Chains A and B, each alone.
Chain A
Amino acid sequence: MNNYKIFEPIRTAVAIIIALIIAFIVILLVSDDPIGTMTILLVGPLKATRYLGNVIELFIPLAFTGVATAFLFRAKLFNLGAEGILYICGIIATVIAIKLKGYGILQAVVAIGVASVVGMLLGGIPGILKAKWNINELVVSLMFNSIFFGIGFYILNNYLRDTDQSLVASYRFVEPGKLALGNLVAGTRIHYGLILVLIVALLSYVFMFKTKWGYALRMTGANNRFAYYMGIKTFSVIVYTHLIAGFIAGMGGAVEVLGMYDRFRWGALPGLGFDGALVALLGKDHPLKALLAALFLAYLRIGADIMARSTEVPSEMIAIIQAIIILLISAERFLAKWREKQLVKEAK
C-alpha cells in the first residue's frame, strides 16, 4: 500500500523532470550558454529576496484560480472561465475602489466582497446552462472569457480610463506609494491577499472533503450517472460548483488588482485564469495540493522571467514545459507498467 501511495507524487516528479529535460534540449538549440541559462531558470528565483517575493506575489492569483478550477475539474466540469471572471471582477473591484478611495480597510473589504459575489453570479451562468440543457461548458466558458474581456475593457476605456497615462490604465484608487491590501513582508510586494488565499484554500478543502456537498461534488465527478442514481441532485451540484468557482476566481481578480497595482492596468486578458487549469491539474484537483502546484508554477514562471531578462531565451519557453507536464500527468498509461510491477511485487 505504501508504494501505491507514493506512486502519484513520483509520477508527477518524473513528468516534471522529463519536461525540464526537454526544456533543456530546446535551450540547447537556441542558447549559446545552455547550462548557464538552465541554471538561471531553475535557481534564479532563489538569488534575491525580491525574486522570492515575486514568486509569492505570483503564487497568490495562481492559487486563487487554481483552487477555483480544482472545484470544476473535480466535478469533471471542463470549464476554463476563471480567466474572464478574473478580468471583469478586477474591473468591478476597481470601480468600487475608486468610489471608496480614502476609506481605508473598508475600501478593500467592500471591493473584494462585491467582486466575489459578482464573480459567483457570472460563474453560475455556464453552470445553469450545463445543468439544465447540457450545453458544453468548455466552449461557453471560453466564449464568456472574450465577452467579459470586451465588456470589461469597454468599461475601462469609457468610464475609468485616466487619459493622462500613456498606457491603458484606470484612475488611481490609492494614494501614490500605497497599496489597498497593504504590505505583509517588508522588502517585497507580498500583500495580505496571501492570508486570504490560504484561508480560501483551507475552507475549500473542508468543503470538498468534510461536508456532504463536497461528497456529492466528488461523487458527481467520479461518475455522474452513478451519483444521479444514488440520489445525488447532480443539477444542483453542477450549479453550486460553478458558483463557488466563480466566487473564488472573482475574489482572485479583485485581490490581484488591489494587492499589486495602484490602478487597473490589464489591457488584455492576463492569462492567470488559464494557468489555473494547469495548477488544478498538477494539484490533482485538491485545494491544498493546488497550493503546492501554484507555488511550483509561480517559481517556474519567475525563473523564466529572470531567464528572459538575462539571456536571449524568451519566457514563452515555459509553454513547452507546461504542455509536456499536462500531457504526461494526464496520461493514465504513463509509468503504469512500473506501477503494476510494484503492485505485483507487493502481492507476492
Chain B
Amino acid sequence: MGNIWEIIFATDFIFSVVRVTTPILLAALGAIVSDRAGVVNIGLEGIMLMAAITGVVISAQTQSAFIGLFAAVCAGILIALILGYFVLEMKSNIILGGIAVNLFASGGSVFLLYVLTGEKGTSSSLASKVVPNINIPIIKDIPIIGEIISGHNLITYIAILSVVAVYLMLNKTPMGTKIRSVGENYHAAESVGINVKKVRYIALGLSGMFAGFGGAFLSMGYVSWFSRDMSAGRGWIALAAEAMGGGNTIGTTITALIFGFAQAFANSLQGLNIPSELITIIPNVVTVLGLCIFAITKTTKVRKVKANEKNNN
C-alpha cells in the first residue's frame, strides 16, 4: 500500500489528474449548458469522437494545429446543431437522437479514417499537429505549484477559463437567465417572450463547442493521433459528473476532478502488480458509486423534508 500513497502525493500525479480531467471537464461543461436549457445532450461522446478525427485530419491537411483545433470545434458545433434540428424542429426524442449521434460517430469516424488513410485502427500515418503546451511565466518557477499548474496543454487552460465563463454566463448574463428559465419551465419562458427554440439551439451549439474542444484535446493534446473509439466513455462520465454536480458549474467541476482523479489513479496503477483489466474499470466503478451516493443522499433529504412537512401540518 505504501507505494500507492507515494503515487498520489507526487506532483506529477496531480499534474496528470489535471490533464486527465480536461476532456471530462470540457464535455461536462457541455452537459451543463445543454441540460440547463432542458435539452440534455447525450451525444457528447460521439461529438468528441468526431471532433477528434476532424482535428487530426484538418491539422494534417493544413499543417496547422490551430486550424485543426478550430475545425474540430466547428465539427462539434455542427453535429450538435444537426441534433438540435432533429430535436427542436422534427421533434425527435433527444435521447434517441443522442444515441444516433454516438452510433454515427463510432462508425463514421472509422469510415472517414479508412477512406483517408486506408487504416481502421489509428491515424498514425497522418502527420497531424499537436496543440502546444504552455509554460506560464513566473508561476512555472514556483516549486510544486509551478510543476502542477504550469506546462499544461493550451486546451487545458481553455477548459479552466471555460469553467469561469460558463459560471458567469449562466449566473450573470441575460443569456444565462434565458437558458435557465427555458430549462426550468419553457412554457413560462415562452409566455414572457423568450424564443425557446433559439435559446435551445444556442445551448446545444455551446455544448457541441465544449465537447469539440474536449475531442480535440484527445487527439491533439492528450495523444497525437486518432484511434478508434478513443473517447472511451468520457462523454458518459461527463454526463454523470453533471448529474452529480446538480447542473451547477462548481459542483460539476469538482465531480469531474474526482472522476479525473480515478482515471489518473487507474493510469498510474498500470505499473503495479494489479491486473490491467480490473484497473480500467476503476473510473466506471467510481462513477456508478458517485451517482449512487449522490442520488441516495438526495432522496433521503427529500424524504426528510416531506416527513417534516407532515409533522408540521
Contacts and interface: CB of A to CB of B under 8 A. Distances in A.
B248 interface: no
A331 B90 contact: yes
Interface string A165-201: 0000000000000000000000000000000000000
B86 A320 contact: no
A150 interface: yes
Given A151-B278, A331-B91, A30 B99 contact: no
Given A134-B295, A147-B285, A158-B275, A330 B96 contact: yes
Q: Is the interface of B mostly helix, strand, loop or mixed?
A: helix
A320 B111 contact: yes
Interface residues of B, number: 44
Interface in B55-102: 86, 89-93, 95-97, 99-101
Given A314-B111, A319-B103, A140 B285 contact: no
Interface string B13-52: 0000000000000000000000000000010000000000
A133 interface: yes
Contacts of B120: 314, 316
Interface string A252-296: 000000000000000000000010011001000000000000000
Contacts of A317: 107, 111
A92 B16 CA distance: 37
Nearest to B111: A316
Interface string A19-56: 00000000000100000000000000000000000000
B292 A133 contact: yes
Contact of B108 (A30, A316, A333): A316
A4 interface: no
A297 to B, nearest CB: 12
Interface string B122-136: 000000000000000
A129 B298 CA distance: 13
Contact of A318 (B42, B96, B107): B107
Nearest to A144: B288
B291 interface: yes
Nearest to B82: A327
Nearest to B110: A316
B303 to A, nearest CB: 11
Contacts of B108: 316, 319-320, 323
A139 interface: yes
Contacts of B103: 274, 278, 319, 322-323, 326
**Residue of B86, B89, B237, B243 with most partner-chain A CB within 10 A:** B86
Contacts of B114: 314, 316
B287 interface: yes
A342 B111 CA distance: 40
A332 interface: yes
A143 B91 contact: no
A140 B291 contact: yes
A334 interface: yes
Nearest to B116: A30
Given A30-B115, A314-B115, A323-B104, A333 B281 contact: no
A64 interface: no
Interface string A126-156: 0001001111101110111011011101100
A139 B291 contact: yes
B280 A150 contact: yes
A248 B204 CA distance: 36
Given A319-B107, A323-B108, A327-B86, A146 B284 contact: yes
A333 B91 contact: yes
B309 interface: no
A322 B106 CA distance: 11
17 contacts: A129-B292, A143-B287, A150-B281, A151-B281, A314-B114, A319-B103, A319-B110, A319-B111, A322-B100, A323-B100, A327-B86, A328-B90, A330-B86, A330-B96, A330-B97, A331-B91, A332-B90
Interface of A: 30, 78, 80, 129, 132-136, 138-140, 142-144, 146-147, 149-151, 153-154, 157-158, 274, 277-278, 281, 314, 316-320, 322-324, 326-328, 330-334
The list of the 6 closest CB pairs from A to B, nearest first, reads: A319-B107, A323-B104, A150-B281, A331-B90, A332-B91, A326-B100
